[in-house]
Amino acid sequence: MKFVHIADMHFDRPFINLSDREYFGDLKRLEQRKVFKNVIEYVKNNNIKYLFIAGDFYEHDYVKKTTIEYINNLFKEIPETKIFITPGNHDPFIKNSYYNKYIWNDNVKIFNSNIEKIETEEANIYGFGFNDFYCTNSGLESFEINQTDKSKLNILIIHGTVDGATLEEKEYNSMKSKVLNEKGFDYIALGHIHKLDYNSYENQKIVYPGSTTALGFDETGKHGMIVGEINKNDLKVEFIPIEQTEFEIKEIDITDIFSKEELIEKINELNIEKNNYLEIYLVGKRNFEINNSELLKLIENEKIIKIKNKTQINYNLEKIANENTLKGIFVKKMLKKLNETQNSDEKEILEKSIEIGIDSLK
């Protein structure tokens, strides 16, 4: 049997802090729709009979009914495909969720908080869904496949953390790979971890497809879906990129740059892949005041969506503080405050104030 496995679409995510450009959230949400439509087109064109969606399909707090209708209308385009959805921590099956109150197409099965078996001609499909924003016990530890079912294909779809070590990870349906392997499933379709993990070792049956579309600068590289073909004696899986855009980070050392205009020229000369989004890290010693918002307005390439200023003031503050001038008195007082605080945010504000003060007292 052939299947497609995706997870972590996060439809209608707000993308509040991802970009310093106001329009970007709307643009990214439109891209989510386009990417998912490409998944459905692949399913349709390749006669895929099973689509597994392993949680965090949408953002419960933000998703719009129009988005749900858009998704369901796409599901109607593949009526012969059986669609299985396991709610995750961002889209739990709760009283007011669209999983609960919306009438989905007939080919859609949404799992709830008890491990349930759906029998099909080719396989038994098992699923578990979050019924809250956290999950500390899915019941998987005590679950067993019936002896009579072991001759058939048995597939589990579940959202959670495998072999997580931190307390935070344990709040999101923590599972041990050893336990999962012992259960006897022929394939385990996972969601929650946004990094792709397949064919990392021989005969790998526990698979994370990663987020279907990149959701931030911590998710670089290709994103897409797992396409598989499975029978009782053989499993073949392949990762197919779906999204054309990627997130990229570039550093610029501004130590030898002495004006805003010179910096903008250097940024405009960057070689950026046509479809990529770029975050710029400014590093080194700065010789002038930097205003990120002002820079973005003047940069030609709108694919540059965020700037992080990680530079340090290129002044000898101790030397200036010893000057018998108004500038020296100002720097001396500000250095005293700077040395007295342990708060990193306050330090950043004080450093910025020193820089502005020095520039105005030149």
Q: What confidence tens digit (pLDDT) does each residue in 19-59 have?
A: 988 889 999 999 999 999 999 999 999 999 999 999 999 99
The token duo for 268 is 């405009």
Specify the pLDDT at position 89: 97
Q: How many Å separate Cα 209 from the centre of its chain?
A: 12
Task: Name the percent of the chain lying above pLDDT 70.
Answer: 100
Domains of the chain as residue ranges with CATH: 2-241 (3.60.21.10), 247-360 (no CATH)
Amino acid at 119: E
> Rounded distance, CA 304 to CA 106, Å?
43
**199 Rama class: left (phi>0) / alpha (psi -120 to 50) / beta:** left
Q: What is the average pLDDT value for the chain, to the nearest integer?
A: 93
Specify the pLDDT at position 319: 87
Do residues 91 and 67 touch, judged by C-beta distance below 8 A? Answer: no
- State how far the alpha carbon of 104 is from the alpha carbons of 41, 71, 99, 174, 296, in Å: 19, 10, 8, 29, 43
Specify the pLDDT at position 273: 82
Candidates 150, 137, 147, 85; CA nearest to 116 is 85
pLDDT tens column, 159-204: 999 998 788 888 999 999 999 999 999 999 999 999 999 998 888 9
At 359, the pLDDT band (50, 70, 90 cuts) reads confident
Specify the pLDDT at position 274: 81
Angle at Cα 309 formed by Cα 307 and Cα 315, nearest 5°? Answer: 150
pLDDT tens column, 110-164: 999 999 999 999 999 999 999 999 999 999 999 999 999 999 999 999 999 999 8
Which residues neighbour 125 within 8 Å (Cβ) at sequence distance 6 or greater?
A: 50, 82, 84, 109, 117, 118, 119, 155, 157
DSSP state of 258: -
Specify the pLDDT at position 280: 96
At 107, the pLDDT band (50, 70, 90 cuts) reads very high
What are φ and ψ of residue 25, in 5° steps? Answer: -55, -45
The token duo for 360 is 């105005």
pLDDT, average across residues 261-278: 91
Q: What is the pTM of this model?
A: 0.87
Residue written as token pair 């797992």: 226
